[in-house]
Chain A
Amino acid sequence: MSQYNAADIKKDRLRFTKNKQSSGLILLSIAANALYFVSIYSSDVGGYYYRFFIVLSIVYNLIFMLTAFLASEGVKNYKLSYAYTAIVLGALQVARIFFIPMRAHREPNPVVGAETLTVMSGGQFRYVTACLLISAALLICAGVIGIRKSTVLSKYQAELRQMNREG
């Protein structure tokens, strides 16, 4: 190793170390998503949320957490496909802002006497949007880092194979 420069050593390290950076970011994104759904599901606004879309939301949350966790394990082992999965999940987190939070924020409150307010207050809307945006940003960062590291590693391994073939 002594003949290699620092950049080469950095690449070589990838062969033996896991991509804990991306993996950690994805786990954090799951935590941010948890803050989002806890805020939504703990709301009690005259039964507004007790409709069919809440079922979809719960099912999606389960799928999201499972897929994100799988992606975190995948990117940890430099699997390129899981890095792309993380980016797609990040994009979907942004899209979710327009599903429940935006609609609830525009909907008048069904509670008698509180018609002038909306189902989701401005404060809660900002909070859940921030949670989803943070979750999305973490996922996209994790995906981008994962793609970069996986590409560097696969190129480096190809170089090593080539060097081995040439003796």
Chain B
Amino acid sequence: MSDLKLRHLEKIYDNNVQAVYDFNLDIRHGELIVLVGPSGCGKSTTLRMVAGLEDISAGNLIIDGRDVTQMPPKDRDIAMVFQNYALYGHMTVYENMAFSLMLRKEDQNEIHRKVLAAAEILDLTEQLNKKPSQLSGGQRQRVAMGRAIVRTPKVFLFDEPLSNLDAKLRSSTRREILMLHKRLDATMIYVTHDQTEALTLADRIVCMSMGHVQQIGTPIELYDSPANLFVAGFIGLPPMNLYDVLIKDGTASCDDFMTPLTAEDCWQLMQYEGKVVTMGVRPENVVPGGTITVNVMQNENLGQNTLVSGTVGRQKITCKFRDWCTYQTGDQVRVSFQKKHFFDKQTTKAIRR
């Protein structure tokens, strides 16, 4: 079992810049937690604090009931996989994977057994005698993962491990990480700025911005019920369409369009009658047919879907239609909004009852 408890973690650098504010999270054994957010949001800093590579300015880090806040990295029993692989160029794959165990002065035969087992899991058996320079990016990243696996650590940390890979390799390596997680039943913390990785890998996602945790939840929770405007705008590709609308008489309206509200929406927005709120509509919830006219500016066919970008009056809109569409610039399409999200304009928090 390897549970993690991050209690009120804060990071303040020597120049008084605060990178992480009051980070609280309980991670259960075998869970894959993804920290996601834009550059500079504090996700890597949080990970490095867990690894022991950054001092924790305030708060506690508890692994398996043991407070490891002041413990040096080598004693925390944590393995980290870096974006740039951090492999030893002069060593073979086998030596790279065995190195940490050699430093621990483990039995040579045991090291051999562990390295071969990890190589088999990662499909690296044929590459064991090669040097990192002879491997592809994906293989190098697998070696980096192998180096972590052989140590059988309590917690695996991944710091944007797929960022250096091309799109195709990224997708396949992502699947490998997911399979690895299931196979090892290991506790993992994974940092990425790529929301696709976050949504596909995570048991739970921690969405961060400016050092603050914005929302913690399952991928579907973050996607379907974003806690605030930041999460709504960050999670989802293309991002959610956001409009300031006036709530009145069962409708949400602005200068450019008016859309009826469902009974549930009206109930939720009861306290906002006559007030302006921010309404969010995901591109896939914009469907053809309705009273809102979109002036098409761009038509992008993605195979199964078509992304249509345009304007509704002065407002920009992105629609994701399920069919193969062939709209031309200047065409007009009538649409309606299905599921809508509402956010308080002042607090930016989601309006829920």
Binding site for B on A (CB under 8 A): 1-2, 6, 9-10, 12-13, 15-17
Contact = CB atoms under 8 A, between A and B. Distances in A.
Interface stretch (B72-80, B105-113, B227-235, B303-311): B105-113
Interface residues of B, number: 12
A1 B116 contact: yes
Nearest to B109: A9
Contact of B113 (A9, A15, A16, A17): A9
Contacts of A1: 112-113, 116-117
Nearest to B114: A1
Interface in B62-113: 92, 94-95, 108-109, 112-113
Contacts of B92: 16
Interface of B: 92, 94-95, 108-109, 112-113, 115-117, 128-129
Nearest to A12: B112
22 contacts: A1-B113, A1-B116, A1-B117, A2-B113, A9-B109, A9-B112, A9-B113, A10-B109, A12-B116, A13-B108, A13-B109, A13-B112, A15-B128, A15-B129, A16-B92, A16-B95, A16-B112, A16-B115, A16-B128, A16-B129, A17-B94, A17-B95
Nearest to B129: A16
Nearest to A9: B109
Q: Which of A2, A9, A10, A16 has the most CB of B within 10 A?
A: A16
Contacts of B128: 15-16
B40 to A, nearest CB: 42
A16 B95 CA distance: 8
Contacts of A6: 109
B300 to A, nearest CB: 49
A12 B128 CA distance: 12
Contacts of A13: 108-109, 112
Contacts of B112: 1, 9, 12-13, 16
Contacts of A10: 108-109
A16 B113 CA distance: 12
Contacts of A15: 128-129
A12 to B, nearest CB: 7
